Amino acid sequence: MTIINLMQAYELDKLSKLNLSDEEILRALRSGDVSAWQEQVPNYEFSETMALYQEGEQQFLNAYHGHYRIKYVTLPGIQRLLQLRFQLEEGKDYQLLETGIQHLTCDEETVTRLQQMLSTNWSLTKQEDGTYSVFVK
């Protein structure tokens, strides 16, 4: 399991939506030229992606394919991940509270991936009604 920061998670999500092969991604990272990605996703420099790649190619690939945990994530960070990574929206798929999320409705695969991604200060639990909640431990 690769440990990454929240910005790396955001950048990896944006990168995954460019529909590039692993080899195309690695070729760009090896050359250090990610300008084509920056043209397609203007608000991202992919500097955190480059930093992650520099920690090791296999470690990068593991994270790129979703095998990562985020070092520290805030409630707004979780909201953004739910929207970016899983297309889940507040008010429709979950209820936002001041200290966490409740009534999260999603499939088991999403729950498994979200649980894996969350930093250790968060607890994801299944409720009696079949929905999930995410709160600080």
Helix pair 108-117, 75-86: axis angle to 10 deg: 140
3 state SS for the chain: CEEECHHHHHHHHHHHCCCCCHHHHHHHHHHCCCHHHHHHCCCCCCHHHHHHHHCCHHHHHHHHCCCEEECCCCHHHHHHHHHHHHCCCECCCEEECCCEEEEECCCHHHHHHHHHHCCCCEEEEECCCCCEEEEEC
Residue 132's DSSP bridge partners are 104, 126
- Name the band, by pLDDT with cuts 50, 70 and 90, for residue 10: very high
Contact 3, 71 (CB under 8 A): yes
Q: What is the pTM of this model?
A: 0.89
Copy the structure tokens of residue 6: 């929240």
Over residues 46-90, the pLDDT tens digits come to 999 999 999 999 999 999 999 999 999 999 999 999 999 999 999
Over residues 123-135, the pLDDT tens digits come to 999 999 999 999 9
